Amino acid sequence: MDKILRLNLGAADIKIPGWISVEAVKEFAPDLVHDLLKPLPYGDGVIDEILAKDLLEHFDKYMRYIVFYDWARVLKVNGVITLEVPNFKKLVFRYFKFGFDKFVDMVFGENMIRSQTYSGHYGNHKWGYSKETLTDFLRLFGIEPLSVECRGLNIIYKGSKKRHVPWKEIEHLEVYAHANAFGDRPHLSLQEVQVKIREFERPPR
């Protein structure tokens, strides 16, 4: 019988028996030190289960497509993925209760994890989700919900990969940017975005 492979992505210092902890910050001593902006060191469809708690919101509106595609790539068909993200819709409604400073602090995230380890830019929140937008986003990658629930100020999503979605199927998907609405390109395809990201990451000559 093949060994069951489970990944705990963005694990910080949390170790779960039977799970491979994956974390970019080496001070957390994970099983695998890996920057999730880069492809995971696993082949297609080899991972049985993925846990990504308080993680997806740390990738911006464009990078999240590239990053999540890789998570879906390594997951087996019928494999299970569980995500926990802040419920941004609920946070917005709590604005007046929290007050400005606490609201901003909560929305944009914390870089000093458990008051001990500095996580740099990895600690910042860069996008927000509701139950509906999270479900729609994951469906693009062949993930269908098994359960979606709100718990406190978070969304707990558990889904199953129903089919493998190749990059070529989604690379022409257009992402709308309200901030670019007054420019000449308010919509950019993921293919174009990927090129721009690579240009940005290229070291200066």
Residue 1's pLDDT is what? Answer: 60
With tokens 């497509």, the residue in question is 65
- Chunk the chain into consecutive blocks of 10 residues (it has 205) and report each block's average pLDDT, rounded to whole numbers: 90 96 96 97 98 97 97 98 96 87 90 89 94 98 98 96 97 90 82 94 84
What HEC string does the chain produce? CCCCCEEEECCCCCCCCCCEEEECCHHHCCCEECCCCCCCCCCCCCEEEEEEECCHHHCCCCHHHHHHHHHHHHEEEEEEEEEEEEEHHHHHHCHHHHCHHHHHHHHHECCEECCCEECHHHHECCCCECHHHHHHHHHCCCEEEEEEEEECCEEEEEEEECCCCCHHHHCCCEEECHHHCCCCCCEEEHHHHHHHHHHHHCCCC
List, by residue range, all CATH 3.40.50.150 domains of the chain.
Answer: 6-165
Residue 125's pLDDT is what? Answer: 95
Residue 145's pLDDT is what? Answer: 98
Closest of 17, 14, 83, 26 to residue 50, by C-alpha: 83
User: According to the CATH classification, is domain 6-165 in 3.40.50.150?
Assistant: yes
